[in-house]
């Protein structure tokens, strides 16, 4: 069965069209696409989705809708996460999605977002008790489990939110980094205590901040997902990359070969979040995963109905 999963977050909107075997085995990618639309731009400050951000998302979604039709997906599910949960004008976003995609988005809770991310992330990894962290634009999800999700918590610490709240200079000042660090540490400590994250065997990191940090640590000549997927990055290398990114200007970050242009202004905050998670959890390494909530959404469509 061919399915289509769309994940619309604070920073990006992504599409996965995949074939699911009837025995529940691994999915086969038909296409994966990602556009940086910054839907959540300014939401932390204003509480509303900006009209230009909704329009950027509409343009990307229209392209995805065309691809879904061309590729013949039988079931479609669109999940919207942090920015859509926080905005007072979420109805405007919903109406746009219905008009563009022909079906409404499913605005999931942080806990459901965490569950979907865990399902997508741990398939293909050896048995262990994992702490899965999904560092998004507006929030970070923490999930602990082995055979399934044991505990999950979403906290409002993400690369876009922390950049807009604290890292205003280019590059950020020491005082701005200290303020962001204190904010992130408080949220991470609360999340790790709630989910039992310090007792996990392995840390798995998801989303663009993590995979970009992995690509930089590996000194890749360009972004190569086949190299970043399941790459094991040491805590020391994460700290090194984080420290470097916080001292670079946006133009200097743009010059990094593996940097997506849409991440250059928020990657320093994302790397800082990852560094603090590893420090506070006591993890020696992080396993970067290219499989995440998109894969979880797709797996869920094997028994579900179109949304």
pTM for the model stands at 0.84
Backbone angles phi, psi at 300, to 5 degrees: -65, -25
Please tell me the predicted confidence (pLDDT) of residue 99. Answer: 97
Domain that holds residue 20: 2-109
* 34 assigned to some structural domain: yes
- Does position 198 have pLDDT exceeding 90, yes or no? yes
Residues 99 and 24 in one domain: yes
Q: Is residue 306 part of a domain?
A: no
- The count of structural domains within the chain is 2
pLDDT at 82: 64
- Asked, for residue 197, whether it belongs to a domain, the answer is yes
In a domain, 301, yes or no: no
Q: Which of 109, 132, 149 is the last residue of a domain?
A: 109
CATH code assigned at 203: 3.30.420.150
Q: Which two structure tokens, joined as six digits, stand for 297?
A: 């959404």
Write down the pLDDT at residue 112. 82
Domain assignment present for residue 118? The answer is no
Looking at the structure, tell me whether residues 102 and 231 fall in a common domain.
no
The verdict on 209 and 73 lying in the same domain is: no
**pLDDT tens figures, 51-87:** 999 999 999 999 999 999 999 999 999 998 766 777 8
3-state percent helix, strand, coil for the chain, nearest multiple of 5: 45, 20, 30
Q: Which pLDDT does position 84 carry in this prediction? A: 75
Residue 105 sits in the same domain as residue 165: no
- With cut-offs at 50, 70 and 90, classify the pLDDT of residue 303: low
Same domain, 161 and 261: yes
Question: Within 10 Å of residue 196's Cβ, how many Cβ atoms?
Answer: 15
- pLDDT for position 305: 41
Tell me which DSSP letter residue 255 carries.
Answer: T
Which among 79, 109, 139 is the end of a domain?
109
Residue 24, pLDDT > 70, answer: no
Based on the domain organization, do 199 and 276 belong to the same domain? yes
Instruction: Assess if residue 32 is contained within a domain.
Output: yes
Residues 179 and 239 in one domain: yes
């Amino acid at each position: 069965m061919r399915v289509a999963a769309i994940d619309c977050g604070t920073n990006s909107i992504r599409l996965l069209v995949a074939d699911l075997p009837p025995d529940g085995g691994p999915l086969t990618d038909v296409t994966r696409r990602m556009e940086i639309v910054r839907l959540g731009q300014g939401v932390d400050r204003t509480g509303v989705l900006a009209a230009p951000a909704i329009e950027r998302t509409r343009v990307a979604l229209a392209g995805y809708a065309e691809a879904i039709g061309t590729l013949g997906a039988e079931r479609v599910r669109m999940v919207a996460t942090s920015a859509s949960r926080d905005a007072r004008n979420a109805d405007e976003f919903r109406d746009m999605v219905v008009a563009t995609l022909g079906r409404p988005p499913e605005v999931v809770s942080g806990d459901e977002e965490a569950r979907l991310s865990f399902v997508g992330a741990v398939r293909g990894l050896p048995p262990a008790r994992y702490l899965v962290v999904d560092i998004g634009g507006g929030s970070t999800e923490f999930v602990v489990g082995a055979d399934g999700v044991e505990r999950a918590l979403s906290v409002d610490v993400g690369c876009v939110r922390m950049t807009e709240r604290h890292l205003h200079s280019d590059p950020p000042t020491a005082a701005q980094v200290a303020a962001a660090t204190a904010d992130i540490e408080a949220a991470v400590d609360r999340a790790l205590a709630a989910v039992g994250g310090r007792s996990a065997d392995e840390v798995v990191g998801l989303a663009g901040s993590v995979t970009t940090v992995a690509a930089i640590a590996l000194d890749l000549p360009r972004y190569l997902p086949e190299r970043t997927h399941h790459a094991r990055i040491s805590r020391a290398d994460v700290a090194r990359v984080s420290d470097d990114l916080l001292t670079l200007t946006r133009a200097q970050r743009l010059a990094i070969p593996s940097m997506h242009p849409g991440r250059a202004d928020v990657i320093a905050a994302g790397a800082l979040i990852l560094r603090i998670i590893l420090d506070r959890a006591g993890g020696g390494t992080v396993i970067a995963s290219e499989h995440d909530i998109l894969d979880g959404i797709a797996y869920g469509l094997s028994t579900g109905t179109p949304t």
